[in-house]
Structure 1
Amino acid sequence: MMGTTLLSFFTVLVSLSCLYSPTSSSSTDSFVFGGCTQQKYVPDSPYESNLNSLLTSLVNSATYSSYNNYTIMGSSPQDVIYGLYQCRGDLAMPDCATCVARAVSQVGHLCSYTSGGALQLEGCYIKYDNTSFLGVEDKTVVLKKCGPSIGYDADGMGRRDSVLAALVGSSGPYRVGGSGEVQGLAQCVGDLSLSECQDCVSEAIGRVKSECGGAVYGDMFLAKCYARYSTGGSNFYSKGHHDKSTNDSEKTFAVIIGLLAGVALLIVFLTFIRKVFGGNGK
């Protein structure tokens, strides 16, 4: 019953996100990859309640922050759950909130009753598990995608290598660069330190260069960072520029997201109270 209630909440949340987002979010909401753990949890268990609380917190936080992580404690160690989300660094907050809400909705279908899950959309990433992964550097290759080869083009490959080298030489968790039609992008998950982020980005860029060779584009997603490039002039990121006329829409959107998230937290709380008093009455 609780899972159905929260699923209905997220369905409504996504519908309203479509109505109030001031820009088209089809590109940021495109599916990149997803995966689930093999371990399952019992329906209507304390773990499911904690998972619902975690997912609600992710959606609520995304209305005002591009990254956050949470640890939901339980009455026993097996009920503890860890989770985070990370929006692409150029997204405006309404677009970030929309993306995270849709990621939460999709991971619920993809990873039904599994203890852990991860989902990457073009504009955001979410992950949760019952084993802590927060603050742990992980350079495991999750997804490699290379475009068709254009053969050896010294000028094109030279510009690509220069753009990627500039990303390595940059600082911060979100890095973009370009030269003509060549575009580059790299980002770390926010729980990494600066040195861990640098190490992860360097690994991702080294891999995408060596494994995609002369491809027109390349994507290398590691567990805690990614690097991407395109030589065809087609941007895989689109920085949102919202003028003053959209301010009211953005504020309305943020208020609605916050109110809906508050309703979900209230549902979780009331369900917990009902179980406690129901148990005492037996």
Structure 2
Amino acid sequence: MDIWTRRLQLLSAAAAAVFLLLLLHAPPPVSCADLDALIYKGCANQSFPGGALPPTVAALSSALSGQAGSTKFYKTSSPSTAGSSTSVFGLFQCRGDLSGSDCASCVSHATSSWRDVCGASVAARVQLAGCLALYEVSGFPQVSGVQMLFKTCGTGSGGAGDFEMRRDTAFAALEGGVATSTGGFVATSYQAVYAMAQCEGDLSTGDCGQCVTQAVQHVEVECGGAPSGQVYLDKCYISYSYYPHGVPHGGGTGGQQTSKTVAIVLGGAVGVGFLVICLLFARSLTKKKDDY
């Protein structure tokens, strides 16, 4: 083996090592399965007679799933039939940044889990990371649209002394962005804090703004200086996360854009590495020729 072949092998090994290093340090993409993660469930204490869901619930599930690919919010009723005297109402709300296919997949997963998480309850509410789907029997008691249903807060603290100021600035942007939002969805980032809000699609701009303001007040009290938090009210929810090393590209809410960026970076690294090898190889050949 001559010295030039040996040099080429060493350069190839170095390029491979650089590629592996970039891959190990690339941010992991968020899988679509994360959208189906259960956040919370709400089940009525009362059950349908006989301990079985009536056919109208299955019909409602099909109606909701059938619309999820074309809209982020939909509500409808499944009237009583000859086979069932029970009329049920239901709706779904997908997160505003989901694609049609991701929304459809999430709603299908949520509606199919009604029975698993709530049995034969006369009302069920399933909140996944990417969507909400619920049903309730006609005449089921209603609660205030700003009643808190669930909250979760991260452990520890945001670290930096001005963390809460950063978070509150992001919250203010959420509240201000509701007026111009599409479908009640607002997302923003400010100095390593990412925040998001989602209202039910049929809320007016004013009602959505009031709901988000209430949610912000709840999360400030409930989560304090925690690095992340989520508060779900009946008609809206907000979430925030602190990223010490900067908010991921795309806001950290979905993996599609992040994975594309990683692919571009890695592909570029491979291309540059290959170009460097070619240039060095050509240089070595020129040097070899000059030596003769």
- TM superposition score normalised by structure 2: 0.68
Structure 2 residue 175 is matched with structure 1 residue 159: no
Shift of 1:94: 0.5
Shift of 1:223: 1.4
**What corresponds to 2:104 in structure 1?**
97
Structure 2 residue 228 is matched with structure 1 residue 217: yes
- What amino acid is the match of 1:112? G
- Please say if residues 187 and 195 of structure 2, whose CA atoms lie closer than 8 Å, have aligned partners that are also in contact: yes
Kindly name which structure, 1 or 2, has the bigger radius of gyration based on alpha carbons.
Answer: 2
- What amino acid is the match of 1:188? C
**What corresponds to 2:59 in structure 1?**
53
- For 2:140 and 2:252, the matched residues in 1 are separated by 28
Unaligned stretches of 5+ in structure 1?
Answer: 1-22, 244-282
**What corresponds to 1:279 in structure 2?**
none
- For 1:101 and 1:164, the matched residues in 2 are separated by 31
**What corresponds to 1:273 in structure 2?**
none
Could you give the per-residue CA deviations for residues 160-206 of structure 1, whole angstroms, max 9, x where no partner exists? 11001110111231010002321000111113222211111110011
Could you give the per-residue CA deviations for residues 210-252 of structure 1, whole angstroms, max 9, x where no partner exists? 2211111111111111111111246552275599xxxxxxxxx
**What corresponds to 1:249 in structure 2?**
none
Deviates most, 174-183 or 129-138: 129-138
SS in 1 for 2:93: strand
Unaligned stretches of 5+ in structure 2?
Answer: 1-29, 261-292
Deviates most, 229-238 or 139-148: 229-238
Structure 2 residue 130 is matched with structure 1 residue 120: no
Q: Percent identity?
A: 31
**What corresponds to 1:41 in structure 2?**
48
Structure 2 residue 34 is matched with structure 1 residue 27: yes
RMSD: 2.8
SS in 2 for 1:154: coil
SS in 2 for 1:129: strand
SS in 2 for 1:139: coil
- For 2:69 and 2:223, the matched residues in 1 are separated by 36
**What corresponds to 2:156 in structure 1?**
149
- What amino acid is the match of 1:157? E
Structure 2 residue 248 is matched with structure 1 residue 237: no
- For 1:170 and 1:134, the matched residues in 2 are separated by 32
Structure 2 residue 190 is matched with structure 1 residue 175: no
Shift of 1:65: 1.1
- Please say if residues 42 and 48 of structure 1, whose CA atoms lie closer than 8 Å, have aligned partners that are also in contact: no
SS in 2 for 1:59: helix
- TM superposition score normalised by structure 1: 0.70
- For 2:175 and 2:254, the matched residues in 1 are separated by 21
Structure 2 residue 76 is matched with structure 1 residue 70: yes
- For 1:62 and 1:165, the matched residues in 2 are separated by 31
Structure 2 residue 136 is matched with structure 1 residue 129: yes
- Please say if residues 119 and 126 of structure 1, whose CA atoms lie closer than 8 Å, have aligned partners that are also in contact: yes
Structure 2 residue 198 is matched with structure 1 residue 187: yes
Relative contact order, CA 8 A, sep 6+: which one is greater?
1
The count of corresponding residues between Structure 1 and Structure 2 is 220
Shift of 1:137: 5.1
- What amino acid is the match of 1:33? Y
Structure 2 residue 210 is matched with structure 1 residue 199: yes
- For 1:137 and 1:190, the matched residues in 2 are separated by 17
SS in 2 for 1:144: strand
Deviates most, 133-142 or 101-110: 133-142
- For 2:169 and 2:89, the matched residues in 1 are separated by 38
- For 1:161 and 1:222, the matched residues in 2 are separated by 19
